[in-house]
Amino acid sequence: MLPEPHIVHAFFGQVEALQEQPCGSGNINDTYLLTFRTPAGQKRQSILQRLNHRVFARPDAVMRNIQSVAKHLQETDYPLDILTPIPTTEGGTLYQDARHQYWRAFPYFAHTYAPERLPTSEEAWEAARAYGLFLKALASLPVAAVEETIPHFHEPRYRWAAFEAAVTQDVVGRAVRVKAEITQIYEQRATFEAIAHLIETGQLPVRIVHNDTKAGNVLLSRHNGKAIAVIDWDTLMPGTVLSDFGDMVRTFAPDRYEDDFGEVEIRPMVLQALEEGFLEGMGSTLSPAEQQHLHLGARWIVAEQALRFLTDYLNGDIYYKIRYPEHNLVRARNQLSLLARLPL
Protein backbone atom coordinates (compact mmCIF):
# COMPACT_ATOMS: atom_id res chain seq x y z
CA MET A 1 0.00 0.00 0.00
CA LEU A 2 1.67 3.21 -1.18
CA PRO A 3 1.27 6.29 1.03
CA GLU A 4 -1.75 8.33 -0.04
CA PRO A 5 -1.43 12.09 -0.69
CA HIS A 6 -2.96 13.09 2.65
CA ILE A 7 -0.25 11.07 4.44
CA VAL A 8 2.48 12.92 2.55
CA HIS A 9 0.79 16.26 3.26
CA ALA A 10 0.53 15.43 6.98
CA PHE A 11 4.31 15.59 7.22
CA PHE A 12 5.43 17.90 4.43
CA GLY A 13 2.49 20.18 3.70
CA GLN A 14 1.26 20.86 0.18
CA VAL A 15 4.18 19.33 -1.68
CA GLU A 16 4.04 17.48 -4.99
CA ALA A 17 4.88 13.79 -4.60
CA LEU A 18 7.04 12.77 -7.56
CA GLN A 19 7.80 9.17 -6.62
CA GLU A 20 6.98 6.72 -3.82
CA GLN A 21 9.32 3.75 -3.98
CA PRO A 22 9.32 0.79 -1.56
CA CYS A 23 12.73 0.38 0.04
CA GLY A 24 14.46 -1.70 2.68
CA SER A 25 14.14 -5.39 3.45
CA GLY A 26 12.46 -5.33 6.85
CA ASN A 27 10.02 -8.08 7.79
CA ILE A 28 7.78 -5.90 9.97
CA ASN A 29 7.14 -2.33 8.75
CA ASP A 30 6.46 -0.95 5.25
CA THR A 31 9.08 1.61 4.19
CA TYR A 32 9.03 4.00 1.24
CA LEU A 33 11.48 6.47 -0.23
CA LEU A 34 9.46 9.59 -1.01
CA THR A 35 10.70 12.03 -3.63
CA PHE A 36 8.76 15.30 -3.68
CA ARG A 37 8.88 18.88 -4.87
CA THR A 38 8.26 21.75 -2.46
CA PRO A 39 6.08 24.75 -3.35
CA ALA A 40 9.36 26.64 -3.88
CA GLY A 41 10.37 24.11 -6.53
CA GLN A 42 13.02 22.29 -4.49
CA LYS A 43 13.34 18.54 -5.00
CA ARG A 44 13.75 16.59 -1.75
CA GLN A 45 13.68 13.03 -0.44
CA SER A 46 12.55 11.54 2.87
CA ILE A 47 11.57 8.19 4.31
CA LEU A 48 7.90 7.48 4.98
CA GLN A 49 7.10 4.38 6.99
CA ARG A 50 3.97 2.57 8.08
CA LEU A 51 4.57 1.31 11.60
CA ASN A 52 3.16 -2.17 12.14
CA HIS A 53 0.95 -1.58 15.16
CA ARG A 54 0.16 -5.28 15.47
CA VAL A 55 3.81 -5.85 16.35
CA PHE A 56 4.32 -2.50 18.08
CA ALA A 57 1.09 -2.24 20.06
CA ARG A 58 2.21 1.06 21.62
CA PRO A 59 3.29 3.27 18.71
CA ASP A 60 3.49 6.37 20.92
CA ALA A 61 5.94 4.60 23.23
CA VAL A 62 8.09 3.60 20.26
CA MET A 63 8.31 7.21 19.15
CA ARG A 64 8.97 8.49 22.68
CA ASN A 65 11.94 6.11 22.88
CA ILE A 66 13.26 7.30 19.53
CA GLN A 67 12.89 10.94 20.52
CA SER A 68 14.62 10.38 23.87
CA VAL A 69 17.57 8.63 22.25
CA ALA A 70 17.86 11.19 19.43
CA LYS A 71 17.92 14.04 21.95
CA HIS A 72 20.55 12.27 24.04
CA LEU A 73 22.78 11.59 21.04
CA GLN A 74 22.49 15.22 19.95
CA GLU A 75 23.79 16.26 23.37
CA THR A 76 26.82 13.95 23.31
CA ASP A 77 29.86 13.71 21.06
CA TYR A 78 28.25 10.88 19.09
CA PRO A 79 30.01 10.98 15.69
CA LEU A 80 27.35 9.50 13.39
CA ASP A 81 24.21 10.97 11.81
CA ILE A 82 21.15 10.77 14.03
CA LEU A 83 17.78 9.31 13.07
CA THR A 84 15.69 12.26 14.27
CA PRO A 85 11.96 11.90 13.45
CA ILE A 86 10.42 14.47 11.10
CA PRO A 87 7.40 16.04 12.82
CA THR A 88 3.95 16.26 11.31
CA THR A 89 2.61 19.68 10.38
CA GLU A 90 0.81 19.62 13.74
CA GLY A 91 4.00 18.91 15.66
CA GLY A 92 3.55 15.22 16.45
CA THR A 93 5.67 12.26 15.35
CA LEU A 94 2.85 9.96 14.20
CA TYR A 95 -0.04 10.35 11.75
CA GLN A 96 -2.99 7.97 11.91
CA ASP A 97 -4.94 7.53 8.69
CA ALA A 98 -8.59 6.56 8.18
CA ARG A 99 -7.63 2.87 8.24
CA HIS A 100 -6.08 3.40 11.69
CA GLN A 101 -2.61 2.82 10.26
CA TYR A 102 0.27 4.71 11.88
CA TRP A 103 2.78 6.61 9.74
CA ARG A 104 6.02 8.42 10.55
CA ALA A 105 8.79 10.15 8.61
CA PHE A 106 12.57 10.16 8.92
CA PRO A 107 15.51 11.76 7.12
CA TYR A 108 16.81 10.02 4.03
CA PHE A 109 20.55 9.52 4.19
CA ALA A 110 21.61 9.95 0.58
CA HIS A 111 24.56 8.15 -1.00
CA THR A 112 24.48 5.36 1.56
CA TYR A 113 23.78 1.64 1.51
CA ALA A 114 23.11 -1.15 3.98
CA PRO A 115 25.68 -3.99 3.61
CA GLU A 116 23.06 -6.74 3.53
CA ARG A 117 24.46 -9.16 0.96
CA LEU A 118 27.69 -10.90 1.90
CA PRO A 119 29.42 -7.95 3.58
CA THR A 120 33.20 -7.82 3.29
CA SER A 121 35.44 -7.89 6.35
CA GLU A 122 35.97 -4.16 5.94
CA GLU A 123 32.23 -3.49 5.85
CA ALA A 124 31.67 -5.75 8.84
CA TRP A 125 34.34 -3.95 10.89
CA GLU A 126 32.93 -0.53 10.04
CA ALA A 127 29.35 -1.56 10.80
CA ALA A 128 30.25 -3.28 14.07
CA ARG A 129 32.22 -0.23 15.15
CA ALA A 130 29.16 1.94 14.38
CA TYR A 131 26.93 -0.26 16.50
CA GLY A 132 29.56 -0.15 19.26
CA LEU A 133 29.68 3.66 19.11
CA PHE A 134 25.88 3.74 19.30
CA LEU A 135 25.76 1.54 22.40
CA LYS A 136 28.66 3.38 24.01
CA ALA A 137 26.81 6.69 23.61
CA LEU A 138 23.65 5.18 25.10
CA ALA A 139 25.53 3.90 28.15
CA SER A 140 25.24 7.38 29.68
CA LEU A 141 21.47 7.50 29.23
CA PRO A 142 19.53 6.02 32.20
CA VAL A 143 17.79 2.76 31.35
CA ALA A 144 14.55 4.23 32.68
CA ALA A 145 14.60 6.75 29.80
CA VAL A 146 13.19 4.13 27.42
CA GLU A 147 10.07 1.99 27.65
CA GLU A 148 9.59 -1.67 26.82
CA THR A 149 7.77 -1.61 23.48
CA ILE A 150 7.67 -5.36 22.83
CA PRO A 151 7.34 -7.19 26.14
CA HIS A 152 9.84 -10.03 26.68
CA PHE A 153 11.50 -9.32 23.32
CA HIS A 154 14.81 -11.10 24.07
CA GLU A 155 13.73 -12.81 27.28
CA PRO A 156 15.04 -16.41 26.97
CA ARG A 157 12.44 -18.10 29.15
CA TYR A 158 9.55 -16.28 27.47
CA ARG A 159 10.76 -17.20 23.97
CA TRP A 160 11.20 -20.81 25.05
CA ALA A 161 7.73 -20.98 26.56
CA ALA A 162 6.20 -19.52 23.38
CA PHE A 163 7.99 -22.15 21.31
CA GLU A 164 6.80 -25.01 23.52
CA ALA A 165 3.24 -23.67 23.36
CA ALA A 166 3.40 -23.55 19.56
CA VAL A 167 4.61 -27.16 19.44
CA THR A 168 1.96 -28.37 21.87
CA GLN A 169 -0.98 -26.46 20.40
CA ASP A 170 0.03 -27.05 16.75
CA VAL A 171 -2.78 -24.76 15.63
CA VAL A 172 -2.33 -25.32 11.88
CA GLY A 173 -1.18 -28.94 11.99
CA ARG A 174 2.41 -28.42 10.90
CA ALA A 175 4.35 -29.99 13.77
CA VAL A 176 4.44 -33.43 12.16
CA ARG A 177 6.35 -31.98 9.18
CA VAL A 178 9.09 -30.39 11.28
CA LYS A 179 9.97 -33.02 13.89
CA ALA A 180 13.67 -32.80 13.02
CA GLU A 181 13.74 -29.03 13.40
CA ILE A 182 11.84 -29.19 16.69
CA THR A 183 14.42 -31.68 17.99
CA GLN A 184 17.27 -29.39 16.92
CA ILE A 185 15.72 -26.51 18.82
CA TYR A 186 15.32 -28.61 21.95
CA GLU A 187 19.04 -29.42 21.76
CA GLN A 188 19.72 -25.70 22.31
CA ARG A 189 17.87 -25.40 25.61
CA ALA A 190 21.13 -25.20 27.57
CA THR A 191 22.09 -22.05 25.66
CA PHE A 192 18.83 -20.35 26.62
CA GLU A 193 19.27 -21.45 30.24
CA ALA A 194 22.85 -20.14 30.36
CA ILE A 195 21.80 -16.69 29.10
CA ALA A 196 18.81 -16.59 31.46
CA HIS A 197 21.12 -17.39 34.38
CA LEU A 198 23.60 -14.64 33.46
CA ILE A 199 20.79 -12.10 33.21
CA GLU A 200 18.90 -13.15 36.33
CA THR A 201 22.02 -13.20 38.50
CA GLY A 202 23.04 -9.73 37.36
CA GLN A 203 26.27 -10.85 35.72
CA LEU A 204 25.25 -9.02 32.54
CA PRO A 205 24.52 -5.30 33.00
CA VAL A 206 21.12 -4.09 31.84
CA ARG A 207 21.67 -1.40 29.21
CA ILE A 208 19.69 0.44 26.57
CA VAL A 209 20.40 -1.64 23.48
CA HIS A 210 19.31 -1.57 19.84
CA ASN A 211 17.91 -5.14 19.78
CA ASP A 212 17.97 -5.44 15.97
CA THR A 213 21.57 -4.93 14.84
CA LYS A 214 21.25 -6.75 11.56
CA ALA A 215 23.24 -5.82 8.48
CA GLY A 216 20.25 -3.89 7.11
CA ASN A 217 20.15 -1.42 9.99
CA VAL A 218 23.48 0.34 9.54
CA LEU A 219 24.25 2.65 6.63
CA LEU A 220 27.69 3.01 5.04
CA SER A 221 28.87 5.71 2.65
CA ARG A 222 28.89 4.81 -1.04
CA HIS A 223 31.90 7.09 -1.43
CA ASN A 224 34.34 5.73 1.16
CA GLY A 225 32.61 2.86 2.98
CA LYS A 226 32.60 4.65 6.33
CA ALA A 227 29.63 4.32 8.68
CA ILE A 228 27.06 7.11 8.36
CA ALA A 229 24.16 6.10 10.60
CA VAL A 230 22.57 3.39 12.71
CA ILE A 231 18.88 3.16 11.81
CA ASP A 232 15.65 1.34 12.78
CA TRP A 233 15.36 2.21 16.45
CA ASP A 234 11.93 0.66 17.04
CA THR A 235 13.28 -2.02 19.38
CA LEU A 236 15.32 0.32 21.58
CA MET A 237 14.74 -1.21 25.00
CA PRO A 238 16.55 -2.35 28.13
CA GLY A 239 18.54 -5.50 27.47
CA THR A 240 22.01 -6.94 27.10
CA VAL A 241 24.69 -6.09 24.55
CA LEU A 242 25.10 -9.83 23.93
CA SER A 243 21.93 -9.77 21.84
CA ASP A 244 23.26 -6.89 19.74
CA PHE A 245 26.57 -8.61 19.08
CA GLY A 246 24.71 -11.84 18.36
CA ASP A 247 22.48 -10.27 15.72
CA MET A 248 25.55 -8.82 13.99
CA VAL A 249 27.13 -12.26 13.80
CA ARG A 250 23.84 -13.74 12.61
CA THR A 251 23.50 -11.38 9.65
CA PHE A 252 27.08 -10.46 8.69
CA ALA A 253 29.11 -13.65 9.11
CA PRO A 254 27.15 -16.27 7.08
CA ASP A 255 27.91 -16.95 3.43
CA ARG A 256 24.23 -16.59 2.52
CA TYR A 257 21.17 -14.58 3.60
CA GLU A 258 18.60 -15.92 6.07
CA ASP A 259 16.06 -16.62 3.29
CA ASP A 260 18.42 -18.79 1.26
CA PHE A 261 18.21 -22.55 0.90
CA GLY A 262 21.20 -24.81 1.45
CA GLU A 263 23.85 -25.30 4.09
CA VAL A 264 25.32 -22.17 5.66
CA GLU A 265 29.02 -21.57 6.23
CA ILE A 266 30.68 -19.05 8.52
CA ARG A 267 33.20 -16.61 7.05
CA PRO A 268 35.93 -16.51 9.74
CA MET A 269 37.50 -13.22 8.63
CA VAL A 270 34.13 -11.48 8.82
CA LEU A 271 33.47 -12.93 12.26
CA GLN A 272 36.84 -11.66 13.47
CA ALA A 273 36.19 -8.23 11.96
CA LEU A 274 32.85 -7.99 13.76
CA GLU A 275 34.41 -8.66 17.13
CA GLU A 276 37.32 -6.29 16.57
CA GLY A 277 35.12 -3.48 15.22
CA PHE A 278 32.56 -3.86 18.01
CA LEU A 279 35.24 -3.76 20.72
CA GLU A 280 36.79 -0.72 19.04
CA GLY A 281 33.47 1.13 19.06
CA MET A 282 32.54 0.16 22.61
CA GLY A 283 35.93 1.16 24.01
CA SER A 284 36.12 0.51 27.76
CA THR A 285 32.31 0.38 28.15
CA LEU A 286 31.98 -3.42 28.11
CA SER A 287 32.24 -5.28 31.40
CA PRO A 288 34.55 -8.34 31.70
CA ALA A 289 31.50 -10.63 31.75
CA GLU A 290 30.14 -9.06 28.56
CA GLN A 291 33.46 -9.51 26.78
CA GLN A 292 33.78 -13.09 28.02
CA HIS A 293 30.35 -14.15 26.77
CA LEU A 294 30.13 -12.36 23.41
CA HIS A 295 30.24 -15.61 21.44
CA LEU A 296 27.68 -17.23 23.73
CA GLY A 297 25.51 -14.25 22.82
CA ALA A 298 25.95 -15.09 19.16
CA ARG A 299 24.87 -18.70 19.69
CA TRP A 300 21.91 -17.54 21.74
CA ILE A 301 20.59 -15.06 19.18
CA VAL A 302 20.98 -17.44 16.24
CA ALA A 303 19.22 -20.17 18.23
CA GLU A 304 16.53 -17.69 19.28
CA GLN A 305 15.95 -16.58 15.69
CA ALA A 306 15.66 -20.18 14.53
CA LEU A 307 13.19 -20.74 17.36
CA ARG A 308 11.19 -17.61 16.45
CA PHE A 309 10.96 -18.52 12.76
CA LEU A 310 9.87 -22.05 13.63
CA THR A 311 7.40 -20.77 16.25
CA ASP A 312 5.83 -18.46 13.65
CA TYR A 313 5.66 -21.30 11.13
CA LEU A 314 3.88 -23.51 13.68
CA ASN A 315 1.50 -20.66 14.55
CA GLY A 316 0.49 -20.08 10.93
CA ASP A 317 2.86 -17.23 9.96
CA ILE A 318 1.25 -14.46 11.99
CA TYR A 319 4.34 -12.35 12.82
CA TYR A 320 6.86 -12.19 9.98
CA LYS A 321 6.08 -11.24 6.41
CA ILE A 322 6.32 -14.26 4.14
CA ARG A 323 6.53 -14.62 0.35
CA TYR A 324 5.49 -18.28 0.13
CA PRO A 325 4.00 -20.87 2.53
CA GLU A 326 7.29 -22.48 3.62
CA HIS A 327 9.21 -19.20 3.99
CA ASN A 328 9.47 -19.28 7.79
CA LEU A 329 10.51 -22.93 7.70
CA VAL A 330 13.28 -22.15 5.21
CA ARG A 331 14.43 -19.34 7.49
CA ALA A 332 14.43 -21.62 10.54
CA ARG A 333 16.47 -24.28 8.74
CA ASN A 334 18.92 -21.61 7.58
CA GLN A 335 19.46 -20.41 11.14
CA LEU A 336 19.88 -23.97 12.46
CA SER A 337 22.52 -24.60 9.78
CA LEU A 338 24.32 -21.41 10.81
CA LEU A 339 24.11 -22.38 14.48
CA ALA A 340 25.82 -25.70 13.80
CA ARG A 341 28.84 -23.85 12.44
CA LEU A 342 29.29 -21.20 15.11
CA PRO A 343 32.28 -21.58 17.43
CA LEU A 344 31.50 -22.88 20.90
User: pLDDT digit string (tens) for 114-134?
Assistant: 999 899 999 999 999 999 999
> If 0-12 CB within 10 Å is exposed, 13-18 middle and 19+ buried, where does residue 243 land?
buried
| 267 — pLDDT class (breaks 50, 70, 90) | very high
By residue range, what is the domain housing residue 91?
A: 5-56+86-107
Is residue 76 situated within a structural domain?
no
Q: What's the total number of domains in the chain?
A: 2
The CA-based dihedral angle spanning residues 137, 138, 142, 148, taken in that order and rounded to the nearest 10 degrees: 170
Give me the mean pLDDT over the 3-18 stretch: 93
Is residue 70 situated within a structural domain?
no
Give me the mean pLDDT over the 310-327 stretch: 95
Task: Supply the pLDDT for residue 28.
Answer: 80
Task: Supply the pLDDT for residue 24.
Answer: 73
Give 54 or 289, the one with higher predicted confidence: 289
How large a percentage of the chain has pLDDT more than 70? Answer: 99
Task: Supply the pLDDT for residue 1.
Answer: 58
Is residue 226 situated within a structural domain?
yes
Q: Are residues 97 and 148 in the same domain?
A: no
Instruction: Report the distance separating Cα 318 and Cα 96, nearest Å.
Output: 23
Task: Supply the pLDDT for residue 54.
Answer: 86
Is residue 161 situated within a structural domain?
yes
Task: Supply the pLDDT for residue 71.
Answer: 98
Task: Supply the pLDDT for residue 321.
Answer: 87
Q: Are residues 100 and 147 in the same domain?
A: no
Number of other CB atoms surrounding residue 237 within 10 Å: 21
Instruction: Report the distance separating Cα 317 and Cα 310, nearest Å.
Output: 9
Q: In the predicted model, is pLDDT for residue 27 greater than 80?
A: no
Give 202-226 pLDDT, tens digit per residue.
999 999 999 999 999 999 999 999 9
